[in-house]
């Protein structure tokens, strides 16, 4: 992963007096803590494990690339097939899977995040793509 320009959105002065809201640095290294954290480098202060939710990406080039990737993905999702929502025996969300062709390659994708799955289900509904529900026992 490349370094991405970020701005600190949380007051982390309890960890270092220089970690003030608005300070800019770069993020992108993997943190051993979890995928919710990233290595963030703030000039003159050092490297810290920081929650992604405490950072705002301000790297215009990166944001442009991600917007283009999302646009291409959404175009592919317009033709998604075999969309299946897996729920537990009492109806709780487990995952959403679908198949589509991305850059000429057939992909079967599974999304375990409820919020992103709900957004995808709404997108599929608007496209007239059926979402089959299966109960996992």
Of 9-18, 27-36, 116-125, the one with minimum mean pLDDT is: 27-36
* Helix or strand run (H / E) with residue 59: none
Which pLDDT does position 1 carry in this prediction? 67
pLDDT tens for 56-89 read 999 999 999 989 988 888 888 888 999 999 999 9
| Spatial separation of the C-alpha atoms in residues 107 and 113, rounded to whole Å | 18
Determine how β-strand 55-57 pairs with β-strand 105-111: unpaired
Q: What is the arithmetic mean of pLDDT over 78-101?
A: 90
- Domain map (residue ranges) of the chain: 4-60, 69-135
- Partner residues linked to 96 by β-bridges: 85, 111
Residue 23 gets the label, from left (phi > 0), alpha (psi -120 to 50) or beta, of: beta
Phi, psi of 67 (to 5 degrees): -65, -40
Judge if pTM exceeds 0.85: no
């Amino acid at each position: 992963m490349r370094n991405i320009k970020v701005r600190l959105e949380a007051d982390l002065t309890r960890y270092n007096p220089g970690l003030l809201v608005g300070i800019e640095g770069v993020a992108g290294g993997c943190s051993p803590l979890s995928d919710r954290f990233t290595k963030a480098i703030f000039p003159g202060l050092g490297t810290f494990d920081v929650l992604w939710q405490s950072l705002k990406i301000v790297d215009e080039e990166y944001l442009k690339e991600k917007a283009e990737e999302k646009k291409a993905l959404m175009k592919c999702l317009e033709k998604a097939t075999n969309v299946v929502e897996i729920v537990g025996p009492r109806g709780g969300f487990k995952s959403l899977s679908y198949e589509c062709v991305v850059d000429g390659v057939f992909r079967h994708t599974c999304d375990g995040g409820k919020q992103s799955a709900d957004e995808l289900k709404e997108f599929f509904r608007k496209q007239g793509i059926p979402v089959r529900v299966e109960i996992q026992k």
